[in-house]
Amino acid sequence: MLLSQQAYTRIDKELAKYPADQRQSAIMSALRIAQVEKGWVSAEVIADVARYIGVEPIAVQEVATFYNMFNNKPVGKFKISVCTNLPCALRDGEKTADYLKQKLGIELGETTSDGLFTLQEGECMGACGDSPVLIVNNHHMCVRMSTEKIDAMLAELAQQGDAA
């Protein structure tokens, strides 16, 4: 078992939401729980989740590789996803991505050398009117991100990373 007992207990709560013959419906939730605990979903974690849920590993692998919210390789402590889809691109989404690349000294898909930040493009985040939009660690949405707001966010995150 690769996850903590608390993680398996949380997965059990997700499994309880579905009929016994529909256990695969809990795959996304189980992967989310595993990723929060491990930081990413390795092949070993995918196999463990499949075993625990009682589905074939390929079923879990398909979900883990289809959705960009799942990290299939190690990422920084803070994963910043910036929306560059057309509506956001028209409202400075691409400029925001360029600013973050320059500020962090990395390209999209890369992690800073200190392991603190990973930068990636994200798919539509459903907040086009609030562009530019970022999501930090798949959970915290940041909207209308000016360069000043980005600088403040990065400084706050770096401080949190140093405190850990």
pLDDT digits (tens, 9 = 90+) for 122-159: 888 889 899 999 999 988 999 999 999 999 999 999 99
How far is residue 39 from each of residues 1, 68, 118, 126, 137, measured CA to CA in Å?
16, 14, 12, 24, 9
pTM exceeding the 0.75 threshold for the entire prediction? yes
pLDDT digits (tens, 9 = 90+) for 36-59: 999 999 999 999 999 999 999 999
The whole-number pLDDT of residue 104 equals 97
Task: Print the domain residue range for 117.
Answer: 78-163
Peptide bond into 19 cis (omega under 30): no
Q: How far apart are CA 26 and CA 12, in angstroms?
A: 9
Domain end call among 16, 35, 66: 66
The whole-number pLDDT of residue 47 equals 97
The 10 Å Cβ neighbour count of residue 87 is 14
**Res. 1 pLDDT band, cuts 50 70 90:** confident
Task: List, as residue ranges, the binding site.
Answer: 83, 88, 124, 128
Cα end-to-end distance, the chain, whole Å:
26
- Whole-number average pLDDT of the chain: 94
Task: List, as residue ranges, the binding site for [2Fe-2S] cluster.
Answer: 83, 88, 124, 128
Sheet arrangement for strand 110-111: 110-111, 117-122, 78-83, 134-136, 140-142
**Shared-domain flag, residues 119 and 86:** yes
Q: Using the predicted structure, report yes or no on whether residue 81 has a pLDDT greater than 90.
A: yes
Structural domains counted in the chain: 2
* Residue 71 placed within a domain: no
Domain end call among 43, 66, 89: 66
Average pLDDT over residues 61-84: 94
Looking up residue 140, the CATH number of its domain turns out to be 3.40.30.10
Asked whether 153 and 115 are in contact (CB, 8 A), the reply is no
Q: How far apart are CA 63 and CA 60, in angstroms?
A: 5
Domain end call among 19, 40, 66: 66
* Residue 108 placed within a domain: yes
Looking up residue 44, the CATH number of its domain turns out to be 1.10.10.1590
**Res. 161 pLDDT band, cuts 50 70 90:** confident
